[in-house]
A and B are shown apart, each in its own frame.
Chain A
Amino acid sequence: GQQLNQSPQSMFIQEGEDVSMNCTSSSIFNTWLWYKQDPGEGPVLLIALYKAGELTSNGRLTAQFGITRKDSFLNISASIPSDVGIYFCAGQRGNQGAQKLVFGQGTRLTINP
């Protein structure tokens, strides 16, 4: 079953606002990833984090890998309408070869124009 706790479950914001969501785990993951899923599509990778404490940006997105390797957060600055969707965190225990992903429950982002 799910081992990652993601919060909040949903967010309703105004266009232009900043967004923050986070993910925690009771066990260690060696890699953390953040995905976005649009309706009717599969998840698309946004950011991958490989080292504890790592802070990585991708445009308006910033994500951090917690020092304990049990948590991560994702920030979106100056939100725009195309940011609407469901955001998932995912963890991977190993960092070599094929590895399954463990997903959080998702954060549904809605933007009011």
Chain B
Amino acid sequence: GAGVSQSPSNKVTEKGKDVELRCDPISGHTALYWYRQSLGQGLEFLIYFQGNSAPDKSGLPSDRFSAERTGGSVSTLTIQRTQQEDSAVYLCASSPGDRGLKQDFGPGTRLTVT
């Protein structure tokens, strides 16, 4: 079946602009996670959703970052007034929810802020 998909695959934006990153989880997966991967680094947790609510937003780096999920499916990560340090690969994962271990990852969105 279809895996986790993310769009766009690449995004180049000017410093100060807002960007929206989209994640389509695996159908039926109730939990959705956002991670950030800087060049040569491991993945850094940002936020996760159980259904449409976000029990843990502890990883969001600043109030410029926000995320929402609607209909228990698609999620959007929004970065306002982008800065150069926001440049990274943003990865989305989903899981059945009852067992967060089985997180299936999407291919990521590579964001470059110039």
User: Which residues of chain B are within 8 angstroms of A96 by Cβ–Cβ distance?
Assistant: 98-99
User: Which stretch (A11-19, A51-59, A69-77, A100-108) binds chain B?
Assistant: A100-108
A69–chain B nearest beta-carbon distance, Å: 15
* A105 CA / B41 CA spacing, docked (Å): 5
The closest CB in chain B to the CB of A1 belongs to B44
Report which of A44, A88, A94 forms a contact with B43, defined as CB distance below 8 A.
Answer: A88
User: Which residues of chain B are within 8 angstroms of A105 by Cβ–Cβ distance?
Assistant: 41-42
Contact A101-B31, Cβ < 8 Å, known A31-B101, A41-B107: no
> What interface size band does chain A fall in?
20 to 34
A94–chain B nearest beta-carbon distance, Å: 8
Count chain B residues whose beta carbon lies closer than 8 angstroms to a beta carbon of A.
30
The closest CB in chain A to the CB of B100 belongs to A99
User: Which residues of chain B are within 8 angstroms of A44 by Cβ–Cβ distance?
Assistant: 105
Report which of A33, A40, A48, A88 forms a contact with B42, defined as CB distance below 8 A.
Answer: A88
A63–chain B nearest beta-carbon distance, Å: 14
User: Which residues of chain B are within 8 angstroms of A95 by Cβ–Cβ distance?
Assistant: 101
Inter-chain contact B4/A42, CB cutoff 8 Å:
yes
A interface list, Cβ under 8 A from B: 1-2, 4, 6, 31, 33, 40-45, 48, 88, 90, 92, 94-106
5 additional contacts, CB 8 Å, given A31-B101, A44-B105?
Answer: A42-B91, A97-B100, A98-B33, A98-B55, A101-B33
